[in-house]
């Protein structure tokens, strides 16, 4: 007997998308000079046209942010700043469904994730940081902390609204004003967030949003009127930014790539581990910097885990992101799909064995079936490079030390997973792993109170918790 799922699409009537958008500068929407299309990656439908900010627009945004910092935001009492953040959190909750549908349309992620993860966490980030605004002297950084001034923030396309919240909420709580650039392919929720700022009556210029591509990002990074750069994206671009700001006074935080090891010990609860492996690599189509993209299995259970994993993967529902039963949505862009295909083809040619879940992929849009590679060795490119898609590389180990050595054999250090039922082994492994976030018997969990960020080439600094807040304050002991 087999069960069929009837379509259960979330209505898109809750959103209204304008045919064309400008930038949000000084509290107002201003017309853009040039535009580029933004599409729904699940259908390739053109959703709207996004403005491409050049020097004039970035200059205007920085000027507005500086003006707001000097005249309003830096003079306002923390308790009043905090109230604006609380208002924003509440409005995000009120308009949660609208944000979720819009995010899914623009990004391609399943509505189940945008509705249950992205948007609620974004609201939670504002609520958490709102409470910090009048308590900065208790943040453990001394009583003479100061904001940097104007923060330039550049965010990726994998969690558009959530990354905005991770950046904007602590910056504002600490007393900075911001110029934010959303990713080229996912600007719509940031532009809707601009409306939230208006509804919250946030003083003009405290949040400025300029849209565009990498060229706009470079204008922000190199702008002399900006005091602090915060970037989430690839390690390659992160290094370019680190070099660009090196000779300047700018403070920098970077959240970059990862190649997380997800280690399954032989004493793990295997069925729970299977769910964790699936969540680790197929959450958000694997477009996650902390994705558990290297599965490291103890040899004694490798066969059992792989057999069960394939059975589970065959049940992953791939398709319409707006369908409430969908598990795996669309790849965010054609460019990213080509990159995933290219690295997977390299996996084939280097001798790893590919297995993809048997599923029907929609005709239009960008899709990639959930895939695992077995027989992967540490020298394979699919074991070293971030694929940023639903592709899992499987390696094996015999001794716990070998698992740790393999897990740490990467220039990245963002996250790691451990599956074991033995407490002392979990704590031992969590100490040995060179990663900023360790998930034991769980994976891909996030919370505004929980610092997130990487060791080594996965970045500089943390986001979330007191540690994340400190990135937006001066006077932390070093220049």
Supply 316's token pair: 């992953």
For 374, what's the count of Cα atoms within 13 Å in the CB-facing half-sphere? 11
Smallest distance from the beta carbon of 242 to another protein, in angstroms? 4
Residue 450 sits in the site that holds another protein (CB under 8 A): yes
Residue 38 sits in the site that holds another protein (CB under 8 A): no
Question: Are 318 and 359 a contacting pair, CB within 8 Å?
Answer: yes
Q: Cα(first)–Cα(last) distance of the chain, in Å?
A: 67
Print the binding letters for residues 233-262 with another protein: x by CB under 8 A, - otherwise.
--x--xx--xx--xxx-----x-x------
Question: For another protein, which stretch binds (CB under 8 A), given 110-118, 329-337, 361-369, 437-445?
Answer: 437-445
Binding residue for another protein, selected from 297, 462, 472, 473, defined by CB under 8 A: 462
Smallest distance from the beta carbon of 124 to another protein, in angstroms? 7
Residue 359 sits in the site that holds another protein (CB under 8 A): no
In 121-260, DSSP assigns E strands to: 146-147, 150-154, 177-181, 207-209, 228-232, 251-255
Active site residue 289: yes
Q: Which of 208, 206, 172, 211 is nearest to 188 (CA)?
A: 211
Smallest distance from the beta carbon of 234 to another protein, in angstroms? 12
- Give the active site residue among 57, 103, 113, 289: 289
> In terms of CB distance, is 272 or 304 closer to another protein?
272
Q: Specify the pairing of strand 391-397 against strand 294-298.
A: parallel
Supply 166's token pair: 């991770």
Residue 457 sits in the site that holds another protein (CB under 8 A): yes
Active site residue 255: yes
**CA distances to 255, 413, 416, 430, 471 from 438, in Å:** 16, 10, 5, 6, 21
Q: In the window 97-126, what residues touch another protein (CB under 8 A)?
A: 124
Print the binding letters for residues 65-94 with another protein: x by CB under 8 A, - otherwise.
------------------------------
Q: With the CA atoms of 81, 82, 86 and 91 taken in that order, what torsion angle do they form, in degrees rounded to the nearest 10?
A: 20
Residue 400 sits in the site that holds another protein (CB under 8 A): no
Alpha helices for 314-440 (secondary structure H): 334-349, 381-384, 400-408, 423-432
- Residues of this chain that interact with another protein (CB under 8 A) are 124, 140, 235, 238-239, 242-243, 246-248, 254, 256, 411, 426, 430, 435-442, 445, 447, 449-453, 455-457, 459-460, 462, 465-467, 476-479
What are the residue numbers of the active site?
255, 289
């Amino acid at each position: 007997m087999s069960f069929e799922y009837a379509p259960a699409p979330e209505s898109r009537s809750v959103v209204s998308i304008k045919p064309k958008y400008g930038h949000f500068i000084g509290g107002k929407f201003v017309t853009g000079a040039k535009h580029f299309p933004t599409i729904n990656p699940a259908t390739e439908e053109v959703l709207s046209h996004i403005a491409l900010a050049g020097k004039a627009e970035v200059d205007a945004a920085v000027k507005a942010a500086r003006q707001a910092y000097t005249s309003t935001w830096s003079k306002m009492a923390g308790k009043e700043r905090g109230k604006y953040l609380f208002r924003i959190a509440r409005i995000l909750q009120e308009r949660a469904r609208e944000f979720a549908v819009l995010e899914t349309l623009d990004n391609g992620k399943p509505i189940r994730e945008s509705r249950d993860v992205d948007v609620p966490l974004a609201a939670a980030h504002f609520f958490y940081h709102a409470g910090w605004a009048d308590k900065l002297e208790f943040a453990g950084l001394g009583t003479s902390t100061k904001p940097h001034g104007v923060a330039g923030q550049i965010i990726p396309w994998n969690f558009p609204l959530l990354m905005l919240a991770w950046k904007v909420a602590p910056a504002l709580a600490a007393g900075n004003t911001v110029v934010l650039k959303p990713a080229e392919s996912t600007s719509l929720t940031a532009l809707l967030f601009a409306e939230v700022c208006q509804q919250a009556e946030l003083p003009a210029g405290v949040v400025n949003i300029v849209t565009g591509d990498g060229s706009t990002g470079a204008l922000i990074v190199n702008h002399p009127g900006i005091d602090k750069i915060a970037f989430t994206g690839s390690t390659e671009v992160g290094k370019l930014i680190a070099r660009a700001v090196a000779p300047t006074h700018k403070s920098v935080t970077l959240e970059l790539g990862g190649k997380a090891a997800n280690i399954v010990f032989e004493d793990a609860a295997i069925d729970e581990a299977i769910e964790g492996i699936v969540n680790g690599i197929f959450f958000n189509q694997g477009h996650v910097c902390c994705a558990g993209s290297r599965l490291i299995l103890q040899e004694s259970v490798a066969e059992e885990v792989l057999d069960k994993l394939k059975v589970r993967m065959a049940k992953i529902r791939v398709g319409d992101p707006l369908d409430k039963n969908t598990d795996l949505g669309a790849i965010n862009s054609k460019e990213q799909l080509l990159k995933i295909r290219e690295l997977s083809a390299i996996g084939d040619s280097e001798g790893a064995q590919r297995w993809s879940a048997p599923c029907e992929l929609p005709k239009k849009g960008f899709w990639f079936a959930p895939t695992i590679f077995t027989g992967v060795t540490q020298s394979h490119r699919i074991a070293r490079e971030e694929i940023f898609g639903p592709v899992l590389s499987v390696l094996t180990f015999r001794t716990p030390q070998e698992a740790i050595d393999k897990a740490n054999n990467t220039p990245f250090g963002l996250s790691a997973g451990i599956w074991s039922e033995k407490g002392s082994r979990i704590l031992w492994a969590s100490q040995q792993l060179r990663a900023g976030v360790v998930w034991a018997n769980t994976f891909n969990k996030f919370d505004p109170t929980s610092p997130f960020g990487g060791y080594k080439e996965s970045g500089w600094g943390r986001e979330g918790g007191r540690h994340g807040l400190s990135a937006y304050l001066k006077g932390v002991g070093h220049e």
